[in-house]
Structure formats: C-alpha cells, structure tokens
Amino acid sequence: MNSRQANSERQRHERAAAGQTAVPFELLHVTAKRGARVVLEDLSAVLLDGATGIVGPSGVGKSTLLRLLNRLADPTSGVIRYCGRDLREHEVLSLRRDVGLVAQLPALLEGTVAENVIYGARLAQRDADVVATLRLAGLDPAFASRPADALSVGEQQRVMLARALALRPSVLLLDEPTSALDEATTAAIELTLRDLRERLGLSFVLVTHDRAQADRLADRMLALERGALRDADPAAARLR
C-alpha cells in the first residue's frame, strides 16, 4: 500500500468512526429505461467508499447510472440504497448536495465564476469560501470575477468541479470528467482529483470510457457491459 492509499484508508476509518457508513451505494436488481429502451437491466452491485471507476463503451448506460445515484432519474424497478437507506427515503435536495454530480460537459449558469461557485451553497443557506474552493479545483482565485461563459472548456470543467465541491459533498459522481479535454489538461484535472481525495477523503464514482484513466484514479474498477456490472479487476473482487 503506497502512502496515498494509506492516507485515504485512514480517512475512511475516521469517517467510519464518525458514524458514516463504509458502503455508500448498493444496487439491488436495478432496471432503468429511457423511453422504451432498457438501458440497465437487473443490475446488482456494491459501490464502496473510496474511488470506484466504472468503465465501458459509449452508450452503455454509464451516465444513466450516475443520474440514478444523484436521483436525476429513478430506476424502473429495483432498489438503490445510499448509506443503508433506500435513495427515495432520503430528502431529494439534501441527497443531491451530499452526492454531487459533475456532468460530462460544462453546463454553467450565466454570471461570474464566483456566482456559479456559491450558487449551490446559497441554496443550502450556507456560505462558500470561493477562493479556497477554486484552489481545491485547481483554479487561480483570479478567475472568480470572470464571466463563466468566457472560459475554455477545461476551465469551465474545473468550475463545475468547484461548484460541486462548494456543497461539501461526501461523494462526487464524475461523468467522463476529461472527455472534452486535451492530454495536458486531462493530466492536470487528474492531479486535482487525486489531491482532493487525499485532502478531503472524498469518495468518487468515476465513469469513463478510458480504462487507463480509471486505472490511474480508482481503487477498484467495474466494467459496465450490456447492462451488467462486472468486476474488471480480479485482484479486487468487490462485486456481489
């Protein structure tokens, strides 16, 4: 176990001691449809604390899975549990603040970077430290006053990340966080994500078509193929 893993293991223990469960998500026989098309069928899996990478080709239902975990959509049948309770028993707005979702493509609000960062926190009637949050997302605080729509895609993606972090979530759902970015920006974002795990002990569920990226960022890897989740890393069999 390297120092990074040891650090995150320690933080996980601390969170467990603080009463937080070590098993954020359990999926039990989950089926999801988009219109008449079955996207996920009878999916059962456990997504543990820490960083889970979910890999699979485009259109296989990875984004749908994240939308289910954030309750932007509900399964047609089956149950998803978060911290031991059915997702539908959680108050939906607080659940979404605790399980932050960073979409595949930037979708920021009109206004400055700072306004975007404090938007979610303000909804929860909380203050957000814009400077500290931008730094966490790897952005210079000088970006705060710039209009969000004038930034590059990579910068906007970091603002999306900062905006989710301002909610102080326990879990971050990352949907192809670097799919629209070049190699250098991808490496920089990955560095930021690793840093976040070390400093905040955040859990990640990362979906990506890039197996190498999942390898670099995740503790364990699941492959989503034809509507089923399989263990993609035999050494770390966590699948039920």
Partner 1 sequence: MTGVIEIGLGQVAATLVLVAVAAAVAAWERTQLEGDIGIAVARSFVQLTAIGYVIKAIFASDSTLWVVLLLAVMVVFGALTARGRARRVPHAFWALLIALAVAATATLTVVLLLGVFPAEARYLVPVGGMVIGNAMTAAAVALNRLGDEVHDAAARIEATLALGATATQAIAPIVRRSLRSGMIPLIDSTKTIGLIFFPGTMVGMLLAGAAPVDAVRLQLILLYVLLGAVAIAALVAVALSRRRFFTSDHQLSEIVTLQE
Footprint of partner 1 (CB under 8 A) = 34-35, 67, 70-74, 92-94, 96-97, 100-101, 103, 105, 107-110, 119-120, 123-124, 160, 163-164, 167
Sheet containing 228-231: order of strands: 99-102, 171-175, 203-208, 51-55, 220-225, 228-231
The minimum distance between CB 17 and partner 1, in angstroms, equals 27
Phi, psi of 54 (to 5 degrees): -115, 115
The minimum distance between CB 69 and partner 1, in angstroms, equals 11
Q: Outline where DSSP puts E strands in 123-202.
A: 171-175
What is the full DSSP assignment across 68-91?
Answer: HHTTSS--SEEEEEETTEEGGGS-
The minimum distance between CB 35 and partner 1, in angstroms, equals 5
The minimum distance between CB 182 and partner 1, in angstroms, equals 22
Q: Please say which residue, 123 or 150, places its beta carbon nearer to partner 1.
A: 123
Q: Cα(63)–Cα(207) distance, rounded to whole angstroms? A: 7
Environment class of 33 (CB within 10 Å of its CB; exposed 0-12, middle 13-18, buried 19+): middle
The minimum distance between CB 97 and partner 1, in angstroms, equals 4
DSSP state of 20: -
Q: Please say which residue, 106 or 201, places its beta carbon nearer to partner 1.
A: 106
Q: Please say which residue, 55 or 108, places its beta carbon nearer to partner 1.
A: 108
Q: Please say which residue, 2 or 125, places its beta carbon nearer to partner 1.
A: 125
